[in-house]
């Protein structure tokens, strides 16, 4: 340690390399990817996708070993924590990222895009996400958010000769930066009144009376609004449909699953660790947000004719379902435990089925070169396998047993009734009605595939490249197995409860 | 419990699913193998059913038998509990039986766009859902099976149905889903207020502590789920559309089994778990039931399409079943279960005949039909037989579903308004007159007289091989149960007592 540092009272932090291993491995793969790309010529460029995919699986290994070790590890004064919550989400990000790589192989390879850079950006964003899962400090959260957002802005504009893709990137960038600014202002207010950026300390302070000052309330709301943009909650969702439609489809899959999950990871840590004393502020906030997001997302999705836009609005609506448990915690803090599990469980199941749906969209578009729902006419006749698989994903998204989505909906309802107050039940009924509305547009695609004639009578079979085929097998197996044995995912959802939360729950 | 005992119900539920999985591996062009696999699967499932019938302890119909209790979703304390008592047994066996007959009937009756592979795979998945619903003794398990039937039926109507099939299919789906969304809210409320369990048996004790007003609300949620499925007036509007558009086999299954999932839900779940609320709601349920009886009958008289007419008659018949349930008496519930089975056999048969008529004449418009007895006498007689059974002629099965239900309304359970139910009784009795009216009217227009000019020269093939095989067991059962109803009543009698135990019934 140098004399200057010593004079400043700098204490060298203790580094737990095991805890940092997923991030370190991923950062290493990033460097390898960037350097290796220099030596690839046109014919060997495909190798970058292999490096990216393998790298993600490698990074998932330490997540496993950490889970086996099982102890909670905190570093940097509690700013970086590896607990079950963090591990479950890191696993989700890395495996979800792996599936996105599978989806990208042919799309990027055949599209004459910059392959090495594409995977570099994708993995950078993922690095931001796994960091987010461990971030328990306002600044760490912000750094993670920027690390995952900046590459995502670039990825959205990856088809640079397509004006729609440009529009997608610009909209996403402008609104994203605006949201970040709002959030930073909120964070500064919270910091100003509590004097700390560590969430656990903020949580301990916020329960007390001096922090009931309006400015703190304002700060909390601003921080949450920032993340409401990230998870495209109504009324902060306007960027999502345009960005989703314009971005390359694998990137859309990535944004609608991984990026959304990262937003939720941040929100969960903020509200359950940092702001749990102030559920009087964020409870009603999320209640309204959830009701609006579900309803508006669903109603607009009903009118879509483009499948990617439909899935975009559906993902807005699904985000609304995930907000429901947060909305009821404010009414009855005792439901905090089941609410947290519900959101995590929902995220995991949603990731599997939504990635699957996008895998089919990408596969079918290889033949039809179209994103219109009408182009799915008669799919069951010439590609029965794909039609059945897509049907599985759609009705899973709609929440029909025995497909995984039903359990996601069930745990949301469970959190609602665990809270059990009148307002919670009202939200539950709104959720139930929305679940029925949602069926309508999912079934519309199924109707197209099964009950409508083939457009132009073009029955050339759809070729399924191996990587997309593997992605389909993974996701469809996941959707079916988790639907019949939800215990597998429910346990993960249950594990992912914060220690801090347990302490607060016992106090109640 | 050892050996086959503990596997019987699980096999009964999942054999069809396994069969569907095997079907997926058979190439689409090899239709004979596809049909054979489907037939063998349903036959094997029915064989399990026969084994269950033989080994069922008829001295203890009030107890759950062949029970299996395994952990399933520990996190929410939902378990894989299956078992059957005297109420489930007839319905379970009926479901297996009708599924098998449907495969036999399908042998040479695949509606456009053909594709036996997909059609039979859906039929098998459907059977898994139906069998599962009748054996599930855990609310979440019940819910899952209750919903599993939606998708196959949606596709069966939507792909193989009539001209207006897409509308009918989505309507069926949306209505049912809306009901079940409220139902699951009710189930979860039971879970949290009734001692953190989903076990139907345990809830019968633990749910009694729930506050009265809350019970009423929960019952309302369950009511929505079950009543839409039955369907009761005013939630019935999906039924005529679904029935009219569905392919023959779809209609048969819908009438014979799917509607029973709703009434079964009342008997198995809503009443035993929430008896106090049931007493409170029963007069209203009875009211909707008799409205359904009259409304269905009047609806029948206004129909021009034979299938639609049968569909409306279903609404009326399910009205009798619901009236029996609403009396909350031993007598009424026995009648209800009998009514479910009888309606399943009779209306299933009517839809079979209607389907075959449509196959031959390509229309079911009553104004164009006529002289079936001349053109195809055997089929005409079968239609007449079923019409008689359906209108409740003594000596045939239909009688034992209607008559005791009406009688039960004379003397409803303690706590129910006697005068009101007696009024219902009168209305329901008038309903039987209507029933005779519309069924005889239908028979007269379709079977009597001479064929209309457009079909006069057309050769109408009479009942063929697969039809005989599929129909005769149903016809025999209609007669046997009509002559000797004790066969069924002795099975259900003990079990309905348990359902009403909390009422002191």
Give how far A279 is from chain B: nearest CA, Å: 23
Contacts of B151 in chain A (CB under 8 A): 391, 395, 400
Cα separation, A248 vs A168, whole angstroms: 10
| DSSP, residue by residue, B177-218 | HHHHHHHHHHHHHHHHHTTS--BHHHHHHHGGGS-HHHHHHH
List the domain boundaries for chain B: 4-503
Nearest to B345 by CA among B160, B93, B129: B93
Contacts of B118 in chain A (CB under 8 A): 380, 384
Cα separation, A266 vs A273, whole angstroms: 10
| Cα-only R_g, chain A | 22
pLDDT for the residue numbered A76: 84
Q: Which helix (H) or strand (E) holds A73?
A: strand A73-75
Cα separation, A154 vs A472, whole angstroms: 27
Torsion angle, alpha carbons of B405, B407, B413, B418, to 10: 120
Cα separation, A158 vs A172, whole angstroms: 13
Give the relative orientation of helices B139-148 and B150-160 as an angle to the nearest 10 degrees.
Answer: 10
Pairing mode, if any, of strands B78-84 and A73-75? unpaired
What are the DSSP E strand ranges found in B242-286? none
Out of B144, B147, B184, whose CB is closest to A413? B184
Contacts of A481 in chain B (CB under 8 A): none
Q: Residue A341 pairs with which residues in a beta bridge?
A: none
**Cβ of A333 under 8 Å from any chain B Cβ?**
no
pLDDT for the residue numbered A127: 95
Out of B74, B148, B154, whose CB is closest to A402? B148
Cα separation, B141 vs B151, whole angstroms: 17
Which pair of structure tokens corresponds to residue A309?
């836009």
- Indicate the SS3 state at residue B68: strand
Read off φ and ψ for residue A209, nearest 5 degrees. -75, -35
Query: Is there a domain that residue A206 lies in?
Result: no
Nearest chain B residue to A491 by CA: give it.
B75
Contacts of B144 in chain A (CB under 8 A): 401-402, 406
Nearest chain B residue to A413 by CA: give it.
B185
The total of other beta-carbon atoms located within 10 Å of residue B22's CB is: 17
Q: Do B191 and A417 touch (CB under 8 A)?
A: yes
Give how far B220 is from chain A: nearest CA, Å: 13
Q: Quick one: A415 exposed, middle or buried, by C-beta within 10 A (0-12, 13-18, 19+)?
A: buried
Torsion angle, alpha carbons of A279, A285, A286, A289, to 10: 180
pLDDT for the residue numbered A209: 53
Cα separation, B390 vs B435, whole angstroms: 8
Which pair of structure tokens corresponds to residue B501?
């135990």
**8 A C-beta contact, residue A489 and residue A345:** yes
pLDDT for the residue numbered B505: 45
Peptide bond into A402 cis (omega under 30): yes
Give how far B72 is from chain A: nearest CA, Å: 7
Place of tokens 């950490």: A66
Q: Do A439 and B74 touch (CB under 8 A)?
A: no
Cα separation, B219 vs B230, whole angstroms: 16
Nearest to B90 by CA among B52, B41, B128: B52
Nearest chain A residue to B196 by CA: give it.
A418
- Indicate the SS3 state at residue A74: strand
Read off φ and ψ for residue B77, nearest 5 degrees. 55, 40
Which pair of structure tokens corresponds to residue B225?
């789920």
Cα separation, B38 vs B57, whole angstroms: 30
The total of other beta-carbon atoms located within 10 Å of residue A336's CB is: 28
A3 Cβ neighbours under 8 A, 6+ residues apart? none
**8 A C-beta contact, residue A417 and residue B189:** yes
Contacts of A436 in chain B (CB under 8 A): 174, 177-178, 181
Query: Is there a domain that residue A361 lies in?
Result: yes
Give how far B274 is from chain A: nearest CA, Å: 18
Which pair of structure tokens corresponds to residue A167?
């529009």
**Cβ of B165 under 8 Å from any chain A Cβ?**
yes
Nearest to A263 by CA among A233, A220, A226, A231: A231
Out of B75, B170, B192, whose CB is closest to A417? B192
Which pair of structure tokens corresponds to residue A306?
């483009």
Q: What is the length of chain A? A: 508
Contacts of B192 in chain A (CB under 8 A): 417-418, 420
Read off φ and ψ for residue B78, nearest 5 degrees. -105, 135
pLDDT in tens, B95-141: 999 999 999 998 887 887 888 899 999 999 999 999 999 999 999 99
Which pair of structure tokens corresponds to residue B285?
């349920």
| Number of domains chain A is built from | 1
Nearest to A64 by CA among A22, A20, A126, A124: A22
Cα separation, B505 vs B412, whole angstroms: 10
Q: Do A490 and B73 touch (CB under 8 A)?
A: yes
pLDDT in tens, B227-242: 999 889 889 899 999 9
Query: Is there a domain that residue A61 lies in?
Result: no
**Cβ of B21 under 8 Å from any chain A Cβ?**
no
Contacts of A428 in chain B (CB under 8 A): 185
Place of tokens 């998204």: A397
**8 A C-beta contact, residue B308 and residue B367:** no
For residue B313, CA distances in Å to A10, B296, B297, B390 come to 86, 6, 6, 9
Nearest to B12 by CA among B80, B71, B78, B92: B92
**Cβ of A497 under 8 Å from any chain B Cβ?**
no
pLDDT for the residue numbered B59: 86
Among A324, A390, A447, the residue to mutate for chain B (most B Cβ within 10 A) = A447
Give chain B's residues under pLDDT 70.
Answer: 1-2, 504-505
SS3 content of chain B, % helix, strand, coil (to 5): 75, 5, 20
A494 Cβ neighbours under 8 A, 6+ residues apart? A341, B75
List the alpha helices (DSSP H) in A77-198.
Answer: 84-110, 115-134, 138-156, 163-194
Contacts of A443 in chain B (CB under 8 A): 154, 170, 173
**8 A C-beta contact, residue B136 and residue B82:** yes
According to DSSP, residue B376 is labeled: S
pLDDT for the residue numbered A195: 87
**Cβ of A429 under 8 Å from any chain B Cβ?**
yes
Q: Do A432 and B185 touch (CB under 8 A)?
A: yes
pLDDT for the residue numbered A29: 94
Provide the residue-wise pLDDT of chain A in tens; the chain has 508 residues: 567 777 777 777 778 888 899 999 999 999 999 888 888 777 777 788 889 999 999 999 999 998 888 788 888 888 898 888 899 999 999 999 999 999 998 888 887 667 888 999 999 999 999 999 999 999 999 999 999 999 999 999 888 888 888 888 999 999 999 999 999 999 999 998 888 888 888 888 876 555 567 888 899 999 999 999 989 998 888 888 889 988 999 999 999 998 899 999 999 999 888 887 787 888 899 999 999 999 999 999 999 999 999 999 999 999 999 999 999 988 888 888 888 889 999 999 999 999 999 999 999 998 888 888 888 988 988 888 999 999 999 999 999 988 999 999 999 999 999 888 889 999 999 999 999 999 999 999 999 999 888 888 788 888 889 999 999 999 999 999 999 999 888 888 877 777 656 655 555 4
Give how far B419 is from chain A: nearest CA, Å: 36
Nearest chain A residue to B140 by CA: give it.
A410
Contacts of A415 in chain B (CB under 8 A): none
- Indicate the SS3 state at residue A8: coil
- Indicate the SS3 state at residue B365: strand
List the alpha helices (DSSP H) in A374-463.
Answer: 379-382, 384-398, 405-419, 422-451
Q: Which helix (H) or strand (E) holds A81?
A: strand A80-82
Query: Is there a domain that residue A121 lies in?
Result: no
Query: Is there a domain that residue A435 lies in?
Result: yes
A·B CB contacts under 8 A: 96
Q: What is the length of chain B? A: 505
Q: Which domain holds residue A310?
A: 280-508
According to DSSP, residue A46 is labeled: T
Out of A400, A413, A425, whose CB is closest to B151? A400
**8 A C-beta contact, residue B93 and residue B49:** yes
The total of other beta-carbon atoms located within 10 Å of residue B27's CB is: 9
- Is the sign of the CA dihedral A85, A393, B141, B17 positive or negative? negative
Summary mean pLDDT of chain A: 88
């Amino acid at each position: 340690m140098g004399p200057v540092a010593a004079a400043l009272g700098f204490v060298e932090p203790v580094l737990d390399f095991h805890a940092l291993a997923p991030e370190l491995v991923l950062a290493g793969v990033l460097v390898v990817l960037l350097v290796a790309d220099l030596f690839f010529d046109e014919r060997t460029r495909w190798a970058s996708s292999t490096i990216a995919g393998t790298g993600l699986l490698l990074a998932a290994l330490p997540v496993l070993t950490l889970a086996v070790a099982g102890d909670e590890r905190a570093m940097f004064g509690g700013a970086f924590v590896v607990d079950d919550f963090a591990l479950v989400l890191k696993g989700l990000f890395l495996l979800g990222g792996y599936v996105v790589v599978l989806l990208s192989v042919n799309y990027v390879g055949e599209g004459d895009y910059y392959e090495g850079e594409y995977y570099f950006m994708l993995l950078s964003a993922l690095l931001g996400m796994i960091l987010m899962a461990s971030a328990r400090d306002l600044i760490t959260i912000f750094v993670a958010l920027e690390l995952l957002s900046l590459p995502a802005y670039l990825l959205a504009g990856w088809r640079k000769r397509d004006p729609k893709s440009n529009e997608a990137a610009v909209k996403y960038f402008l609104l994203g930066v605006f949201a970040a600014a709002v959030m930073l202002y909120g964070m500064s207010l919270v910091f100003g009144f509590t004097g700390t950026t560590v969430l656990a300390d903020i949580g301990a302070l916020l329960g007390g009376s001096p922090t009931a000052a309006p400015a703190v309330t304002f700060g909390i709301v601003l921080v949450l609004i920032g993340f409401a943009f990230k998870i495209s909650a109504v009324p902060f969702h306007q960027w999502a449909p345009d960005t989703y439609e314009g971005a390359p489809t694998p990137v859309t899959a990535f944004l609608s699953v991984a990026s959304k999950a990262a937003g939720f990871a941040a929100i969960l840590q903020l509200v359950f660790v940092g702001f749990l004393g102030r559920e009087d502020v964020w409870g009603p906030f999320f209640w309204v947000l959830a009701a609006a997001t579900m309803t508006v997302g669903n109603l607009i999705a009903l009118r879509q004719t483009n499948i990617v836009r439909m899935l975009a609005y559906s993902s807005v609506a699904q985000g609304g379902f995930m907000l429901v448990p947060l909305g009821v915690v404010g009414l009855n803090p005792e439901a905090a435990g089941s609410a947290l599990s519900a959101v995590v469980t929902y995220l995991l199941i949603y990731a599997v089925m939504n990635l699957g749906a996008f895998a089919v969209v990408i596969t079918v578009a290889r033949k039809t070169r179209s994103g219109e729902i009408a182009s799915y006419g008669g799919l069951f006749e010439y590609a029965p396998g794909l039609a059945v698989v897509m049907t599985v994903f759609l009705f899973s998204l709609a929440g029909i047993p025995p497909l995984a989505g039903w359990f996601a909906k069930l745990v949301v309802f469970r959190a609602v009734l665990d809270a059990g107050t009148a307002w919670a039940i009202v939200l539950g009924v709104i959720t139930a009605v929305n679940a029925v509305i949602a069926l309508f547009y999912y079934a519309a695609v199924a109707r197209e595939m099964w009950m409508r004639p083939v457009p132009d009578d073009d029955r050339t079979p759809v070729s399924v490249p191996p990587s997309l085929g593997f992605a389909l097998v993974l996701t469809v197996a996941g959707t079916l197995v988790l639907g019949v044995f939800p215990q597998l995912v429910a346990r993960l959802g249950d594990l992912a409860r914060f220690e801090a939360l347990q302490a607060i729950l016992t106090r109640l | 419990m050892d050996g086959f005992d503990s596997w019987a119900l699980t096999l009964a539920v999942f054999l069809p699913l396994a069969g569907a999985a095997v079907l997926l591996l058979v190439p689409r062009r090899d239709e004979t193998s596809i049909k054979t696999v489907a037939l063998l699967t349903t036959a094997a499932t029915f064989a399990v059913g026969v084994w269950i019938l033989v080994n069922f302890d008829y001295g203890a119909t009030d107890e759950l038998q062949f029970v299996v209790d395994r952990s399933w979703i520990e996190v929410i304390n939902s378990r894989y509990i299956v078992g059957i008592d005297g109420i489930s047994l007839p319905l379970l066996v009926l479901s297996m039986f009708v599924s098998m007959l449907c495969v036999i009937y399908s042998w040479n009756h695949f509606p456009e766009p053909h594709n036996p592979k997909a059609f039979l795979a859906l039929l098998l998945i459907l059977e898994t859902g139906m069998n599962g619903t009748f054996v599930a003794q855990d609310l979440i398990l019940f819910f899952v099976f209750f919903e599993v039937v939606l998708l196959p039926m949606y596709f069966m109507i939507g792909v193989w149905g009539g001209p207006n099939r897409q509308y009918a299919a989505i309507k069926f789906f949306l209505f049912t889903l809306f009901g079940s969304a409220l139902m699951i809210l009710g189930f979860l409320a039971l879970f949290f207020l009734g001692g953190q369990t989903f076990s139907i048996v345990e809830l019968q004790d633990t749910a009694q502590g729930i506050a009265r007003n809350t019970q009423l609300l929960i019952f309302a949620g369950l009511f929505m789920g079950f009543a839409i499925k039955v369907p009761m007036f005013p939630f019935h509007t999906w039924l005529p559309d679904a029935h009219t558009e569905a392919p023959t086999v779809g209609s048969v299954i819908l009438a014979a089994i799917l509607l029973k999932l709703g009434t079964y839900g009342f008997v198995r779940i809503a009443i035993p778990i929430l008896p106090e609320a049931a007493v409170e709601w029963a007069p209203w349920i009875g009211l909707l039931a008799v409205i359904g009886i009259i409304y269905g009958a009047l609806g029948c008289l206004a129909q021009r399409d034979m299938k639609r007419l049968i569909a409306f008659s279903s609404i009326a018949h399910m009205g009798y079943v619901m009236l029996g349930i609403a009396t909350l008496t031993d007598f009424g519930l026995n009648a209800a279960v009998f009514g479910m089975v009888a309606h399943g056999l009779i209306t299933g048969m009517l839809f079979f005949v209607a389907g075959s008529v449509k196959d031959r004449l390509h229309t079911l418009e009553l104004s164009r039909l006529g002289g079936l007895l001349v053109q195809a006498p055997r089929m005409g007689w079968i239609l007449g037989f079923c019409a008689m059974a359906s209108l409740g002629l003594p000596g045939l099965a239909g009688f034992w579903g209607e008559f005791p239900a009406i009688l039960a309304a004379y003397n409803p359970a303690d706590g129910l308004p006697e005068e009101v139910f007696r009024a219902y009784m009168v209305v329901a009795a008038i309903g039987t007159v209507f029933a005779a009216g519309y069924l005889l009217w239908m028979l007269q227009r379709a079977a009597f007289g001479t064929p209309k000019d457009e079909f006069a020269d057309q050769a109408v093939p009479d009942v063929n091989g697969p039809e005989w095989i599929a129909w005769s067991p149903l016809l025999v059962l209609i007669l046997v149960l009509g002559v000797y109803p004790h066969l069924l009543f002795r099975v259900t009698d003990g079990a309905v007592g348990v359902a009403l135990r909390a009422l002191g019934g």
